[in-house]
Amino acid sequence: MTSIQPRRDSGAATAGADLGAMERDIERILLSEEQIRVRIDEVARSVTREYAGRDFTVVSVLKGSCIFASDLIRRIPIPLELAFVAASSYGDGTQSGELHLNFLPSDNEIAGRNLLLVDDILDTGKTMNALKKELLRQGAHEVRTCVFLDKPSRRDVEFDADFRCFEIEDLFVVGYGLDFAGRYRNLPFVGALRREAFERANRS
Ligand code: IMP
Ligand code: MG
- Note the pLDDT tens digit of each residue in 74-88: 999 999 999 999 987
Q: Which sign, positive or negative, has the C-alpha torsion 105, 67, 131, 136?
A: positive
Asked if pLDDT for residue 147 goes beyond 60, the answer is yes
Q: Give ion ligand 2 contacts, CB < 5 A.
A: 64
pLDDT at 101: 78
Ligand 1 centroid to residue 136 C-alpha, Å: 22
Asked if pLDDT for residue 18 goes beyond 70, the answer is no
Query: How distant, in Å, are the alpha carbons of 60, 74, 110, 189 from that of 67?
Result: 10, 11, 23, 11
Record the pTM: 0.88
pLDDT in tens, 107-132: 889 999 999 999 999 999 999 999 99
Q: Are 161 and 145 in contact (CB under 8 A)?
A: yes
| φ, ψ of residue 21 in degrees (nearest 5) | -60, -40
Residues known to be catalytic = 123
- Pocket lining for ligand 1, CB < 6 angstroms: 64, 89-90, 96, 119-127, 172-174, 178-179
Element spanning 86, H or E: strand 81-88
Judge if the upstream peptide bond of residue 63 is cis by omega within 30 degrees of 0.
yes
Asked if pLDDT for residue 1 goes beyond 90, the answer is no
Q: Give CA–CA dist 162/144, Å, rounded.
A: 6
Q: Are 128 and 117 in contact (CB under 8 A)?
A: yes
Higher pLDDT, 131 or 1: 131
The residue whose CA is least distant from atom 20 of ligand 1 is 173
How many beta carbons lie within 10 A of that of residue 50, not counting itself?
15
Strand-pairing partners, residue 88, are: 100
pLDDT at 150: 98
Find the DSSP H helices in the chain.
11-23, 33-51, 66-73, 107-110, 126-137, 195-203
Query: How distant, in Å, are the alpha carbons of 45, 131, 143, 199 from that of 117?
Result: 17, 8, 7, 34
Ligand 1 atom with minimal separation from the 99 CA: 2
